[in-house]
Amino acid sequence: LDNYPYQINENGHLEIGGIDTLDLVKKYGTPLYVYDIALIRERCRAFVETFKKLGVKAQVAYASKAFSSIAILQVMKQEGLSVDVVSEGELFTALQAGVNPEKIHMHGNNKSPRELEMAIKNNIGCIVVDNFYEIELLKELLAKYGKETDVIIRVTPGIKSETHQYIMTGNEDSKFGFDLHNGQAEEAFLLLHEHEAINFKGLHCHIGSQIFDTERFVLATNILFDAISKWNTKYGYSPEVLNLGGGFGIRYTKDDQPLPLHKYVERLVETVQEHSDRLGIPMPEIWIEPGRSIVGDAGITLYTIGSTKHIPGVRDYVSVDGGMTDNIRPALYQAKYHGVLANKANHPSSSVVSIAGKCCESGDMLVWDLPLPDVESGDILALFSTGAYGYSMASNYNRIQKAAVVFVENGLDKLVIKRETYEDIVSHDLSYE
């Protein structure tokens, strides 16, 4: 399977985590998200162990926006990861999962008073301050509750990453963070640094997502250190923490060539160490926030194929029982995916078809031009690397229920999110008669 982390068994069926996907389909139906938890643990450990091996104090915070649910956050907790949340809902989920509040970091470019209040009341580990409005709110709320908090500030290093515009976050023209070049980051640093209820721990930046080369991270780190060096000279400042964000790329299609995760960690540590030595300041703790690289390729989606449409000389459309409601990424970012027929995983491909979703929307296409064996209604399509930003961005468009999620590990499967019912969907509707 071209290095994808799934297998084909002796029946010619696709397996994930040692389980036959067709058995999962029989048991749980489709569409179905399936996660290989052993692989997720392996990814977590690649980050955590590399920091340990290098003897660097670190926090690896799982970016829960990639896929948040009680079960997945319990896995992160078991692996000793911290959790990054960006909303009250994600914070609530992390608390419900039993994540230690001290290991929760809160992001957001427009945290509401309620969100900040919830963060403060629960004594979460760190608030990543994004803007001046938030600084004022934070001061008021800390005074109101007589609390203190650790903060880091999110800064925009002003570099562009080669990724889709919608998932680019570190460039200057961005809604996120304080600009490093126009003095706003320094102004925020001074405001927070001198406040008695605020423990200013350091700086954060996230340059974007699906990044494959380490040098963009090095570039961002260099830019952070330009500021640190200036603040060190002016104010004698040295950061306790540098959070370098997430964004490590994964393999969606054969064109994607990700690096082993330890390479990113090694390069980041090396860069921060060099700068710290040069400035004669202590090595800060390094925090990172991977989302996609932990859960992305550990997840697949299984669909049942229904109708097909042959347009001679033009294209074959093959429709599945899901689509943009369970995976908006192709429609939103022109994201590319690869997949196979799970029940014919060892058949050679015979033609190139395009996979359509079932929504009433021409843009509801999952894959344009996927080579597959002869397709028949009832075949099971497995789409690879759908573990990040699939379920978490799912919608009820066309009143389609959110799909179920199953974890597999040690030869066992376990339902961790139930399929929505139509009763669930109408449960918030009120009558107008």
Judged by the rule CB under 6 A, the positions of this chain that interact with ligand LLP are: 63, 66, 107, 167, 169, 206, 209, 245-248, 289-293, 329, 388-389
CA distances from 416 to 35, 96, 363 (A): 10, 14, 30
Catalytic position from the list 44, 126, 205, 360:
360
Residue 278 labelled as part of a binding site: no
- Nearest approach, Cβ of 88 to ligand LLP (angstroms)? 17
Look up tokens 């969606």; give the residue: 252
Sheet holding 19-20, edge to edge: 7-8, 14-16, 19-20
247 or 343: CB nearest ligand LLP: 247
- Nearest approach, Cβ of 289 to ligand LLP (angstroms)? 4
Q: Could you give the CA distance from residue 81 to residue 104 in angstroms, rounded to a whole number? A: 9
Q: Could you give the CA distance from residue 55 to residue 176 in angstroms, rounded to a whole number? A: 32
**E strand or H helix that includes residue 187:** helix 184-193
31 or 296: CB nearest ligand LLP: 296
- Nearest approach, Cβ of 169 to ligand LLP (angstroms)? 5
107 or 358: CB nearest ligand LLP: 107
- Nearest approach, Cβ of 155 to ligand LLP (angstroms)? 11
Look up tokens 């690869």; give the residue: 338
Residue 291 labelled as part of a binding site: yes
Half-sphere exposure of 242 (CA within 13 A, CB side): 26
Residue 360 annotated to the active site: yes
Residue 389 labelled as part of a binding site: yes
DSSP symbols for 29-92: -SSEEEEEHHHHHHHHHHHHHHHHHTT--EEEEEEGGGS--HHHHHHHHHTT-EEEE-SHHHHH
284 or 291: CB nearest ligand LLP: 291
Question: Furthest-apart CA pair in the chain: how many Å?
Answer: 73
Residue 289 labelled as part of a binding site: yes
- Nearest approach, Cβ of 85 to ligand LLP (angstroms)? 11
Closest CA relative to residue 201, chosen from 235, 150, 139: 150
DSSP symbols for 359-380: SS-TT-EEEEEEEES---TT-E
Q: Could you give the CA distance from residue 142 to residue 371 in angstroms, rounded to a whole number? A: 57
- Decide: helix, strand or coil at residue 8: strand
- Nearest approach, Cβ of 8 to ligand LLP (angstroms)? 28
Closest CA relative to residue 165, chosen from 153, 173, 177: 173
Residue 217: DSSP 8-state: H
Closest CA relative to residue 392, chosen from 85, 66, 92: 66
289 or 413: CB nearest ligand LLP: 289
Residue 333 labelled as part of a binding site: yes
294 or 417: CB nearest ligand LLP: 294
333 or 368: CB nearest ligand LLP: 333
**Any idea which residues carry the catalytic annotation?**
360
Annotated binding site for substrate: 292, 329, 333, 361, 389
Annotated binding site: 247, 289-292, 329, 333, 361, 389
